[in-house]
Chain A
Amino acid sequence: AQSVAQPEDQVNVAEGNPLTVKCTYSVSGNPYLFWYVQYPNRGLQFLLKYITGDNLVKGSYGFEAEFNKSQTSFHLKKPSALVSDSALYFCAVTHGGSQGNLIFGKGTKLSVKP
């Protein structure tokens, strides 16, 4: 069975510092991995995805994520956090043979303080 774990309910970072939001996954076959962001009172927005190729994936708003097959992880990172990055972040996984349904993690609330 596929699953996603986001071990931190909340991550607190000072503006200008690097941030990391953690995600580990379990899937049969080759994983397709995604990060989404949700701002208050909004739907989820796609940030980036890993399907194949380079393990470091770059996405919207300066975010990037590193696929680590041996550790089954796909952590979201940003070199310098902004207050406007404060939001709820979701990791999701599926596999190549799926019909498009994603398994979402429970979400991590990112709080960036000035």
Chain B
Amino acid sequence: DAGVIQSPRHEVTEMGQEVTLRCKPISGHNSLFWYRQTMMRGLELLIYFNNNVPIDDSGMPEDRFSAKMPNASFSTLKIQPSEPRDSAVYFCASSFPSGGAAKNIQYFGAGTRLSVL
């Protein structure tokens, strides 16, 4: 398996622009997580899905952020409009909560480094 795949790896945009980050979870995993990592705030959980349904979005900073999971193999995190304070590394992770020895282990993608100028 190729692991969790995120795209793009790097994104540079200007303030006010729309940004869409993409994630393909590991096949067979039914939970998907979006995190944000910054030096100041560390690793923050933004939202997570179980079986494509959003379970907890309390970590989403504000209405400018939205996430979707239209099917089991794809998710997006959208920021509109983007602001300089959104600059961070965004990680996607997937897991199989009921999965035997792999129960609750989250597998992370390589991340998307977002810079908003």
Contact = CB atoms under 8 A, between A and B. Distances in A.
Interface residues of A, number: 20
A102 interface: yes
Interface string A72-113: 000000000000000000100010001111101011000000
B91 A44 contact: yes
Interface stretch (B62-70, B80-88, B107-115): B107-115
Given A100-B48, A101-B56, A104-B43, A42 B104 contact: no
In this complex, the interface size class of chain B, counting residues with CB under 8 Å from chain A, is 20 to 34
Contact of B33 (A42, A51, A98, A101): A101
A53 interface: no
Interface in B72-117: 91, 93, 95, 97, 103-111
A49 B105 contact: yes
B50 interface: yes
Given A34-B105, A46-B105, A49-B104, A101 B45 contact: yes
A59 B22 CA distance: 31
A43 B110 contact: yes
Contacts of B110: 42-43
A90 B43 contact: yes
B107 A101 contact: no
Interface of A: 32, 34, 36, 42-46, 49, 51, 90, 94, 98-102, 104, 106-107
